[in-house]
A = this chain, B = another copy of it.
Amino acid sequence: MYTDLVVEIKNDHVSGASEVSRKACSAFADFSSEVKVSSKEEYFDRLLKLGVDLVSAQPYMASVFNLANSILYHIEELLPILSVEELCESTKEKAEEFCYNSLNSMQKIAKHGEVLIEKGSKVLTFSSSGSILSILKKAKEEGKKFEVIACESRPMFEGRLLAKFLGNAEIPVTLITDAAMGIFAKEATLFLVGADSISETTFVNKVGTKYLCLLSFEHKIPLYVACERSKFISDAWRPKPTVGGDPKEVLDFELSNVKVENPYYEEIPLSYCQEVITNEGFLSPNDIPNLIRKTRLCTKLMEQVKSFYLTRA
Contacts and interface: CB of A to CB of B under 8 A. Distances in A.
A208 B214 CA distance: 13
A257 B171 contact: yes
Nearest to A214: B214
A215 interface: yes
Contacts of A153: 179
Contact of A175 (B171, B182, B207, B260): B260
A176 B260 CA distance: 6
Interface string A247-265: 0001100011111111100
Copies in the complex: 2
Contact of A177 (B172, B174, B207, B258): B207
Contacts of A172: 257, 259
Contacts of A180: 207-208, 261-263
A76 interface: no
A179 B166 contact: no
13 contacts: A167-B258, A168-B256, A172-B259, A173-B255, A173-B257, A174-B261, A175-B250, A177-B207, A178-B208, A179-B207, A180-B261, A182-B210, A214-B218
